[in-house]
């Protein structure tokens, strides 16, 4: 028996200002999250982006074509109810940040990592008063507790909606610092993505691209850029 599939039943998706934010309406009725919470969004721009995704649906509703809606649902149903746990998990990336772990060889890769990552770490050290130590190899490098505390405090300053976007920036890149670089406007999303793929780009140059790996890479890049867009829409 085929699974139930939602189909478009509305003529118009619109936005209305309500107490606490902006609602998305389908023929005048408010949208709810999968957990049945009212979908009230913090900015008009975010609500309009969600409404556009609903308006674009034709026939069967395809959630995979609605990344902004999915992230908004996640902010309300997953992030908000466990805000402390989620922000703590994201802040913990600072203790094992991608930018801090360098290759031991070859020299050209070591130099490329330094050129790409050292300036970003220097920016974060100044911006957040949070210097991080680098190391060669995969052995764990303990980071200054004061730095980790300051970075965690900044992550906790985000709203649940911002955290929903920030989560994917960090989880996909493996770097708290790159995620912060995007949210602070220090790095363009595409620039941060390329910085997160220094090692992979090097391997492709040496051995060529693998078709399956390239498909996964493209999917992750799209998700990373969508996360950056969602964060920006949160105002």
Q: Please list the residues that pair with 51 across neighbouring strands.
A: none
Q: Which two tokens stand for residue 84?
A: 């402390």
Q: What are phi and psi of 74, to 5 degrees?
A: -60, -40
Q: pLDDT of 89-105, one tens digit each?
A: 999 999 999 999 999 99
User: In which domain, by residue range, is 212 found?
Assistant: 82-233
Alpha-carbon dihedral sign for residues 214, 230, 32, 163: positive
C-alpha radius of gyration, the chain, whole number? 20
1: CATH: 3.30.2180.10
Same-domain status, 52 and 114: no
107: CATH: 1.10.3580.10
Q: Which two tokens stand for residue 103?
A: 């290759």
Q: Please list the residues that pair with 29 across neighbouring strands.
A: 26
pTM of the predicted model, to two decimals?
Answer: 0.94
SS (H, E, C) 200-234: HHHHHHHHCCCHHHHHHHHHHHHHHHHHHHHHHHC
Same-domain status, 18 and 111: no
Same-domain status, 37 and 107: no
Q: Please list the residues that pair with 25 across neighbouring strands.
A: 14, 30
Same-domain status, 179 and 86: yes
In-domain check, residue 168: yes
With a pLDDT cut of 90, the percent of the chain lying above it is 91
Q: pLDDT of 131-175, one tens digit each?
A: 999 999 889 999 999 999 999 999 999 999 999 999 999 999 999
As for how many domains the chain has, the answer is 2
């Amino acid at each position: 028996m085929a699974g139930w599939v939602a189909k478009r039943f509305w003529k118009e998706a619109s936005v209305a200002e309500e107490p606490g934010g902006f609602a998305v309406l389908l023929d005048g009725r408010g949208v709810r999250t999968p957990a049945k919470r009212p979908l009230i969004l913090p900015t008009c721009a975010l609500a309009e982006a969600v409404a556009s995704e609903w308006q674009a649906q034709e026939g069967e509703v395809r959630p995979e074509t609605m990344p902004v809606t999915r992230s908004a649902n996640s902010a309300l149903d997953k992030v908000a109810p466990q805000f402390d746990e989620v922000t703590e998990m994201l802040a913990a990336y600072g203790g094992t940040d991608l930018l801090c772990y360098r290759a031991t060889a070859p020299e050209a890769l070591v130099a490329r990592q330094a050129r790409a990552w050292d300036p970003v770490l220097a920016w974060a050290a100044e911006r957040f008063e949070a210097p991080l130590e680098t190391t060669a190899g995969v052995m764990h490098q303990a980071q200054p507790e004061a730095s980790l505390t300051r970075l965690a405090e900044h992550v906790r300053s985000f709203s649940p909606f911002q955290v929903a976007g920030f989560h994917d920036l960090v989880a996909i890149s493996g770097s708290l610092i790159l995620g912060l670089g995007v949210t602070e406007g220090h790095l363009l999303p595409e620039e941060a993505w390329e910085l997160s793929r220094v090692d992979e780009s090097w391997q492709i140059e040496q051995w060529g691209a693998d078709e399956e790996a390239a498909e996964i890479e493209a999917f992750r890049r799209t998700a990373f850029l969508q996360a950056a867009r969602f964060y920006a829409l949160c105002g």
